[in-house]
Amino acid sequence: MSRNGLLIDYEYCTGCHSCEVSCKNEKNLSKDKWGIKMTEVGPWNVEGDKWEWNYVPVPTQLCDLCEDRVAKGEKPACALHCLGQCMEVGPVEELAKKMTDKGTKMALFVP
């Protein structure tokens, strides 16, 4: 059986924190714990009119990709509620191919 992962295309992440909130609600996590945590990189000037400023959701050790939801054929809470629609769950091999094909601003999480 293929192992699932979470592909995050952070080129389209707006930093809205919907993934954090939906995960906390789904997993009933306390205010000081996260299953996925939003990080912000930047902003800083790279050169000229080019800037580095990214939001990257980072799954933690508490993330199990909502295995209960996935077992019922549902998306993980973070992917379901992602306003930028930049999260996808599926077999690691398929996600790695998508990541390779696009080439930039993507991260693959495998619990």
pLDDT digits (tens, 9 = 90+) for 9-18: 999 999 999 9
Predicted local distance difference test score (pLDDT) of residue 104: 85
Distance CA 65, CA 42 (A): 28
Predicted local distance difference test score (pLDDT) of residue 111: 86
> Dihedral, CA atoms, 50, 52, 57, 60, nearest 10 degrees?
150
Q: Is 15 left (phi over 0), alpha (psi -120 to 50) or beta?
A: left
Question: Residue 72: CB partners within 8 Å, gap ≥ 6?
Answer: none
Averaged pLDDT for residues 78-103: 94
pLDDT digits (tens, 9 = 90+) for 46-88: 999 999 999 999 999 999 999 999 999 999 999 999 999 999 9
Q: Mean pLDDT of all residues in the chain?
A: 94
